[in-house]
Chain A
Amino acid sequence: MLLKKRAAKINEFTFGSLLNYMVLAILVIICVYPFLNVVAYSLSSNRAVLSGKITIFPIEPTLNAYREIIGKKQIWLSMQVTIIVTLMGTLIGLILTICAAYALSRKKLKGRGWITGIILFTMYFSGGIIPTFLVVKSLNMYDKLTSLFIPSAVNVFNFIVMRSFFRELPESLEEAAYLDGASDVKILVKVFLPLSVPIVATIGLFYAVGYWNDYFSALLYIQTPEKYTLQLRLRSLLFTEELNQFGGSLEGLGNTVMAESLKMTCIVVGTLPIILVYPWLQKYFVKGIMLGSIKG
C-alpha cells in the first residue's frame, strides 16, 4: 500500500514531464507532417498547388491527379514488377534464412562454427559493387527480374536475428520430438515454426520492405524500362522531366503545376502499401530488433 503510494508520487505529473510530452509531440509532428503534406498536395487542385499554401489539408479537393495516375500504364507495370520481386524475394529469403538459421542453431551439428564463420565474414569484407555486378552479369541475370532478388537473397543481419531466436528455444522441445522419431525437417516445421511466428513476421517484414524500397539493384541491373521497379520508376518521375510527357495538353506553367501534384500522387501510391501493412507488423519488430542486438 505504502509502496504503491510512493510509486504514484514518483510518477506524478510535473512541469518537466509536461515539457517532455510536448517535445515528443513536436517530434511526432515533424515525422508525420511531410506525409500529410504530400497527401494534401496530391488531393488539391492545380490552382491551390500553385499558390503554395497547402499544409495538411487539401485545398479545393479533387481526385484529378489520381484519375490521371490510374490511366498511366507505366506505373502499374512497375507496380507489378515490384510486387513480383517483393513476393519472390521475401519467400526465398524467409525459406533460406529459416533453414540455415535453424540448422546452424543446433548444437549437435558438426562444423557449424566454420559454416557460420563463412557467413558472418561477409559482413566485414566484401568484393564490392563492381565484382558483384560482373558475377551477376556472367550468370546471365543482367536485365532479368531474378537479378533483383537472387543476388541479395539472404541478409546476414536477418540470419543472426533468426539464429539467436532458435537458439533460445528450449532444447527439450527437440529431444522430445526425437524420441518420437521425428526427422529434423519435421521438427522444424511442426515444433519450432509454430513457436516462431513473431520472429518470422519480423524477418518477413524486413525482407519485404527491403525489396519494396530497393532502388539500387534495379539501377544496377535493369535496363529495359518495362522492367523498371516502382522505386526506379518513381525516381525517373520525380527527378527528371518525364512527367512533362505525362502532362499532356497542358503547357508551360500549368504543366509543371500538374506535374507537382502528380508527383505527390506517385509518392502516395508508391508508399501506401508500406503504410498499410506497417501497423499490423510493427508490434513484432521491436522484439526482433532486440534479439538482433544480442550478438551472434
Chain B
Amino acid sequence: MKNQFSEQHLKGIRKNQKTVLFYIWRDRWLYLMVLPVLVYYIVFKYVPMYGLVIAFKNYNVFKGIHASEWVGLDNFAKVFSNMHFWKAIRNTILLNISTLFVNFPLTVMVSLLINEVRSLRFKRVTQSLLYLPHFISWVVVSGIAVKLFSHNNGSINNMLNFLGFDSIPFLSSYGWWVFTYVTCNVWKELGWGTIIYLAQLTNIDETLYEAAYIDGATKMQRIIYITIPMIKSVAVVMLILSISKMMSIGLDAPLLLGNTKVMEVSEVLSTYIYRLGIIRAQYSLSTVIGLFQSVVNIIILFIADRFSKLIGEEGII
C-alpha cells in the first residue's frame, strides 16, 4: 500500500517535470523567435542600466566600469551644486509646460472641428495634410523655421516690415525663442495628436446625435453634451501622460533651434547631458543627471498613475 502510494507520487513528479520540458520543446520555435529580441533588450537596455553604477564611481575610460574606484555620492554633490544643472531642469519644465499649454487645448479643439466635417473627402485630405509634419525630421523643421523666423530677411519679419512693423527677434530673445520653440512643436505634432481623439470619436453612436436633435438640441449642445463627454476620459489620460513626461525632453528641437544667444533658455537636460557627457567626456557626471532624470520620471509616473485611478480613469502604466 505504502509502496504504491510513493510510486504514484513519483509518477506525478515525473509527469510534472516532463510537462515543463515538454512545453519548452513543443514551443521551441516560439522561444527561438523571442530570443533575439530578448538578447537585444538585455544588451542595449539592461546592460546600460548596470552602467548606471558609474554615477557612483569616478569613471575612467582605461580602467573600465568595474575597476573604476567608488566615490559614493561625490558626483551627485557636484551636479546638484552646479547652477547649470538647475537651469537645465527649469528650462526642461518651462519648455514642456509651454508646449503642453498650447498643444493640448488646440489638439482637442482641432479634433472636434475635424469630427464635425461631413464631407468625407475634405476630411481625408485635411487629415493627411495635418499629419504630414509629424514625418518630417527635426533637422528639416528647424532649417525651415530658422529661415522663416530669422531676423535678417526671414519671411515672417519681411512680412512684418512690409506691414510697417518692426522686426521681431524670434530666435535671439529669450521670450520669443520659447514662442518659436512652441510654435515649431505645435506645427509638427498638432495633427498627429488628433488621431487618438478621432479614433475615440468614431466610436460614438450616430443615433445619440439623432435623438438629441429630435429633442431639440442645437449643434453646440450636441457637441457639449455628447461629443465632449465621449473624449473626456481620453483627454484626461493624455493630459496626465504628458504631465508625467515633464522631465524628459527630446534633444533634437532644443539643440537645433537653439543658438548661443538663447542658451539661457534653450539648454535643457538632454542637451546638457549631451554637451557634458559626449562633448566634454564627463561620463560620471552626465550619468548622474541621466539617473536623476530617470528616477524622477518613474516617480512622477507612479504618482500620475495613482492620480489617474483616483479620479476614476484607467491607469496609465
Contact = CB atoms under 8 A, between A and B. Distances in A.
A131 B290 contact: yes
A52 B158 contact: yes
Interface string B140-175: 101110111000010100100000000000000000
Given A6-B214, A10-B213, A289-B199, A274 B128 contact: no
B48 A126 contact: yes
B23 A110 contact: yes
B43 interface: yes
A63 B283 CA distance: 48
B293 to A, nearest CB: 7
B189 to A, nearest CB: 11
Nearest to A183: B29
B184 to A, nearest CB: 10
A25 B110 CA distance: 11
B40 A154 contact: yes
Contacts of B1: none
Contacts of B42: 118
Counting chain B residues whose Cβ lies within 8 A of the other chain, the interface size class is 35 or more
A99 to B, nearest CB: 4
B34 interface: yes
Interface stretch (A65-73, A196-204, A231-239): A231-239
A132 B44 contact: yes
A215 B252 contact: yes
Interface string B252-290: 100010000000000000100110011000010011001
Given A11-B118, A103-B31, A128 B291 contact: yes
A247 to B, nearest CB: 17
Given A6-B213, A129-B290, A154-B41, A293 B199 contact: yes
B147 A119 contact: no
| Most chain B beta carbons < 10 A, residue from A34, A50, A185, A293 | A34
Nearest to A50: B153
A192 to B, nearest CB: 12
A68 to B, nearest CB: 17
Nearest to A104: B34
B45 interface: yes
Contacts of B214: 6
Interface string B294-313: 10011001000000000000
28 contacts: A3-B210, A6-B213, A10-B209, A17-B116, A24-B110, A27-B130, A28-B125, A28-B129, A31-B130, A41-B147, A50-B153, A99-B34, A103-B33, A104-B34, A110-B20, A115-B38, A124-B317, A126-B294, A128-B294, A134-B48, A153-B44, A214-B137, A219-B274, A231-B137, A232-B139, A271-B137, A278-B132, A289-B196
Interface of A: 3, 6-7, 9-11, 14, 16-17, 20-21, 23-25, 27-28, 30-32, 34-35, 37-38, 41, 50, 52-53, 96-97, 99-100, 102-104, 106, 108-110, 115, 118-119, 122, 124-135, 139, 150-154, 159, 183-185, 188, 209, 212-216, 219-220, 231-232, 234-235, 238-239, 260, 263-264, 266-267, 270-271, 274-275, 278-279, 282, 286, 289-290, 293, 295
